[in-house]
Amino acid sequence: MKIAAGQINSKIGDFKNNALLILEESKKALDLGVSLVVFPEMSISGYPPMDLVNYNSFVDKNIESLNWLIENLDPNIAVCVGYVDYNKKSNGKRLVNRAVVIFENRIIFSQDKTLLPTYDVFDEARYFEPSSERSLFKLHGVKIGLAICEDIWWNHGEFSDKEYPENPVDEILAQNPDLIIVPSASPFYSGKILTRIEIVKDICKKGSCSVLYVNMVGANDNLIFDGNSFAMNKDSDLIAVAKGFESELLVFDAFSKTVLDEPSYHKYHEIELALSLGIKEYVHKCGISKVVIGSSGGIDSALVATLAVKALGAENVSTFAMPSRYSSEGSKTDARQLAENLNISYDEIAIEPMFETFLSTLEPYFKGTKENVAEENIQARIRGTLLMAYSNKFGGMVLTTGNKSELSTGYCTLYGDMAGGLSVIGDLFKTEVFELCYYINREKEIIPLNILEKPPSAELRPNQKDEDSLPPYDILDGILDLYIVHNKSLEEIVQEGFDEETVKFVLRLTARVEFKRNQVPPVLKVSKKAFGNGRRIPIARSLTEV
């Protein structure tokens, strides 16, 4: 039996075009002799629609597109699609997350999602009523079960401390299926493909059945969807693998004996592809084609510019160096060299006259005080204003260049370097920024070597270095990773071998700047725990209990 995974990129609320894409891919699949093509979770509505589902018009239009598909699909191919529907029961939430199988211009099977995640970036229980029933359907003599995304994550991986009251897969397996199809909209984080494969292996072993895992590709807001759909036979052998980070129609024999090698994994290869895709999708889906970046000659802005070129093309990336009295000649030289290497637009705007004007205006108020962060932040805010002004005049989205270490500790300026429409590397610690840059340079020097080798500095005061006021980045990032990503306490972090006073210092820094992180642009998620809607911490709280 030939089956296909329709690994497509659905745009939230673009019902007509999503349905047209499903129709086109279904026609291609039929021409290739496919009996069943499976599309991702909520492939008609796009995922995650969030509070848009509170509008009846949103739900009604996605149902209209489903009905249009039912009428227009070729009756000779079965098609599984996901959408949002009303809950027909008399109690519970008003909506369900549903997948249906269409064949011969009618729905032959329907399955609602059972497990509705509320951890990390998910909030599905806010909207949907869980299914209380799981059954099979037959197609050409094959018994098939359907489990939507989270329904296979009952008790796995990094979330094994949460156990749902029921396991949908066990109920499906008890009915002896030949095949389980898993339409998914599973957001990316580095290494997640390995976890998915292990989960599906367990299901195949336990039920002696084949499994097709179909994942969405593309990005919506801060979430990136990596695709990487795959299929396994009843012996837990990998028999089909789709490409990562691009659309594909993956066609295979559901009961093939041909065994494939498991996909190779490289953290920074994945992250480079993910961040480039995230930029491209966010910018284009917001109706914009160009981006603007402040190029300091430092490693963070160099990485963002490099990723933007990969995502959008050199012709759509404009960079500006905005030197002040504290900017080194080397930084200006490095910024120019980067622009030449990437073949991107580059200009210099000296901010010294504007800085002088600010200082003279404030002199009556600042008189008799020592220079401190106030004077430093004026420079950052001048730069942010210039970038936003250029963006407003000529179009294009400003990309911010702050990393996760800076966002964690508050080493970033509101309305300055935080000004922009998208935080590209806000989920990469500084040590990861370096590793990714070295990976990008693996074949030739794209990011100038001098940028990678010089000590990091904001250059907002004389001879400033990041490590003047922060622990070395390998120590800082080790502490931050344990605290932010793995939810470890002060005591647990100290037990990992870190100095207690250093840990206290870092955790207090992190706690007191929550207000800044609530104002950061969307942060592209590439780790298990990114800043934004996946980490919800009160702003006004005690800073002594860390």
Positions annotated as catalytic residues are: 41, 113, 149
Paired tokens of 11: 């745009």
Amino acid at 59: V
Give the Å distances, CA to CA, from 541 to 264, 344, 511, 520: 44, 45, 9, 19
Query: Which residues on neighbouring strands pair with residue 137, listed in sequence order?
Result: 144
230-232 and 422-423 beta bridge pairing: unpaired
Contacting residues for 51 by C-beta, under 8 A, at least 6 apart: none
481 secondary structure, DSSP code: I
Q: Regarding beta strands 36-38 and 345-348, do their DSSP bridges make them parallel or antiparallel, or are they unpaired? A: unpaired
Query: Residues with Cβ < 8 Å from 449, sequence gap 6 or more?
Result: 441
**DSSP designation for 482:** I
Contacts of 242 (CB under 8 A, 6+ apart): 5, 7, 227, 228, 229, 230, 248, 250
User: Among residues 146, 71, 77, which one has the least CA distance to residue 109?
Assistant: 146
CB burial class (10 A; 0-12, 13-18, 19+) of residue 208? middle
Q: How far is CA 517 from the centre of its chain?
A: 17
Separation CA 499–CA 479 (nearest Å): 10
Find tokens 């990008």 and name the residue: 440
Residue from 63, 353, 25, 2 nearest 210 by CA: 2
User: Hey, what are 255's tokens?
Assistant: 């009961």
In eight-state DSSP terms, residue 244 is B
Structure token digits, residue 106? 């009618």
Q: How many residues does the chain have?
A: 546
Among 227, 232, 97, smallest CA distance to 168 is for: 97
CA dist., res. 304 & res. 295, Å (int): 9
Burial class (CB in 10 A: 0-12, 13-18, 19+), 519: exposed
- Non-local CB neighbours of 293 within 8 Å, separated by 6+ positions: 301, 304, 305, 308, 317, 318, 319, 320, 387, 398, 399, 401
**Residue found by looking up tokens 């590439």 in the block:** 526
DSSP E strands, 61-105: 78-86, 95-103
Element containing residue 264 per DSSP (H, E): none
Measured in whole angstroms, how far is the alpha carbon of residue 452 from the centre of its chain? Answer: 26
